[in-house]
Amino acid sequence: MSVFGVVSAKRRWTGRILQGLLMAGLITALVPLVLVLIYVTVRGLPALNLDFFMTDPTGAFFGDQGGIRSAILGTLEIVGLSTLIAVPIGIALAVYLNEISRQSQMALIIRYCIDVMTGIPSIVYGLFVYTVFVVGGIEAGFAAWKGALALSMLMLPIVTRASEVSLAIVPDSLREAALALGAPRWKVIIYVVLPTALPGILTGVLLAIARAAGETAPLLFTVLGAQVTTLALDQQMNALPLQIFNDIRQPNAALVTRAWGGALTLILLILFVTIIARFGARRRRLP
Amino acid sequence: MPVIESSLVVLRSRAAHAARDWNGDTLLLRGLQFVAIVILAVVGFFFIQLLVASLPVFTKMGVIGFIFENNWDVAHAVFGALPLVVGTGITSIIALIIGVPVAVAAALYITELAPARMRGVLALLLDLLAAIPSVIYGLWGVFILIPALKPIEEWVGATYHYVPFIGGSVTGPNYFIAGLILAIMIVPIVSAISREVLTTVPWSEKEAALALGATRWEMIKLAILPHARPGIVSASMLGLGRAIGETIAVTLVIGNAAVIGDSLFSQGYTLAAVIANEFGEASVGSTHASALIAAGLVLFVMTLIVNGAARIVVLRHTHTHSGPVEDRVVA
């Protein structure tokens, strides 16, 4: 092994065995990914057909049980609304943290809160919204926008962090050049800093969307679920994770098959968004 | 006169420009400050609401009684959440015992041993593991993992019945299955943060170890692990925080029985699972609903403590990368 001497057999074999163990660790970690993807594909594919995507669930236990149209559209609507809430606020917070006051007391508090928010379980966000808007004095009843609010609280720390990191790697020379040309700070931020950081911010946004789209717990007590397709955001609404969760718990093979079909649809949707985000991240290189 | 006038005009327009630009900056600053304050206020408000909503059960059972009484009896409106707290603890510990070694081994393999061109792909695959939704892990757990592992669990239970917490009857959904699913779910985050920490080990130390004739494993043991230990500990704690709060997958595979099981292979319940599972049955404003919200509050406080501890470990040991190590682990 070395030109200066021979590594003893014992040391060589210890090394080989432990390297093998590390590799085994990696393989063990990847086995569930492969198994889940295989089973979801094999069990989900038979459920997929045009009707599956074009009809609403009927709620019937026997006979025609319908497809998952309302679930897909509901997920798109709820996640779309939560993106509209979380992204502007998340970017605003990141701009505040990185461009306006990096080390102020306020910035430290916000950073701490963002850290804390990252760790809060998603079901607790659901409970927040539930206590305030579903049974609270302000508003009552289940509605799609309340679920979107819970999801946006989940997305906020992800968007803020990704944006803050992307803003931090924008070189100061760019800011100084713009300021030296006489541009006020707000113009520097809007026309120079944000466009430069945009790819990184987009990656963060897409990852936040992927995360939110798969969440069930925050929707359970905020949007509750529904059968029909609706565009009304102040009504109960269906969502893919909710539909899957409810179908799993039915003692009926046909409904369980619909759960697998829904799972395949959801996983394709999320993997699509995630992979776009990751490849976007890889292409991001500053000049 | 015209000259003065025109110069005044110039001055005014300059002032107007200055005022507008100044206003733009001030507007931005004030606007962003406003957003920040509103967010802080909203989070604080939500927390207080949670506290208020769980007051009824705390006045009935007492805070200590709620957490430490071993009796969750919905029919008699008695809410002692100890079986749930214990279930959360057991499943999270199983998840750590299985998940952390696997995650750290995977991280070490990717950063130190894998061919350079494979690293990106392997890391991406591990990150995809985090992208799979909880409800799909639950679906897979219920219909694939539980039936597949039942014979093995029964064999282990029968063969090693003298080991504490192993023997006894095996139910399909149980603590072990829930812990295993949680382990799968925390592997990507623990592994990603460990990877981040491993890349901060200075090259000079690795090269020094290799130059002294260390094998690659010895280099890992002597140069990398001591350096990365605090980071790995804090990664594990963030993983623990995830495991504690995980809801949907657990509620599908733990059996949802509000008792403290005899063995690893008996049914149980967790704080998060009880909320998801019993929420539909609890009528608005009842003590039951209040108890479920209080369970959420306990969960919240537990994750705060665990995540806080993780941050303290990082801050105490490494000043250079005390920033959020989770940055790249947003999925």
ipTM over 0.90: yes
Higher pLDDT among residues B280 and A17, named by residue = A17
Chain B, residues 233-262, CB within 8 A of chain A, namely 238, 241, 244-248, 252
Q: Are A246 and A268 in contact (CB under 8 A)?
A: no
Say yes or no for a CB contact (<8 Å) between A29 and B106.
Answer: yes
Instruction: Give residue-wise pLDDT tens across range B278-318.
Output: 988 888 888 999 999 999 999 999 998 998 888 888 777 75
Chain A CB within 8 Å of residue B312 CB = no
pLDDT grade, residue B326 (50/70/90)? very low
- Measured between CA atoms, the residue of chain A closest to residue B44 is A113
Average pLDDT on B233-249 reads 94
Q: From CA B185, how far away is CA A33, in angstroms rounded?
A: 10
Cα separation, B307 vs A143, whole angstroms: 32
| Contact residues, A window 152-211, toward B, CB-based 8 Å cutoff | 156, 158, 161-162, 165, 184-187, 189, 204, 207-208, 210-211
Q: Map chain B to HEC letters.
A: CHHHHHHHHHHHHHHHHHHHHHHHHHHHHHHHHHHHHHHHHHHHHHHHHHHHHHHHHHHHHCHHHHHHCCCEECCCCEECCHHHHHHHHHHHHHHHHHHHHHHHHHHHHHHHHCCHHHHHHHHHHHHHHHHCCHHHHHHHHHHHHHHHHHHHHHHHHHHCCCCCCCCCCCCCCCHHHHHHHHHHHHHHHHHHHHHHHHCCCCHHHHHHHHHCCCCHHHHHHHHHHHHHHHHHHHHHHHHHHHHHHCCHHHHHHCCCCCCCCCCCCCCCCCHHHHHHHHCCCCCCCCHHHHHHHHHHHHHHHHHHHHHHHHHHHHHHHCCCCCCCCCCCCCC
DSSP category for residue B112: I
CB A122 within 8 A of CB B68: no
Taking only the tens place, the pLDDT of each residue in B30-62 is 888 888 888 888 878 888 988 999 999 999 989
Distance CA A226, CA A51 (A): 19
Whether residue A253 lies within 8 A of chain B, CB to CB, comes out as: no
The pTM (predicted TM-score) of the whole model is 0.89
Name chain A contacts of B33, Cβ cutoff 8 Å. 96, 106
Chain B contact for A232, CB < 8 A?
Answer: no
pLDDT of B22 reads 57
Q: What is the pLDDT of residues A169-182, one digit of tens each?
A: 999 999 999 999 99
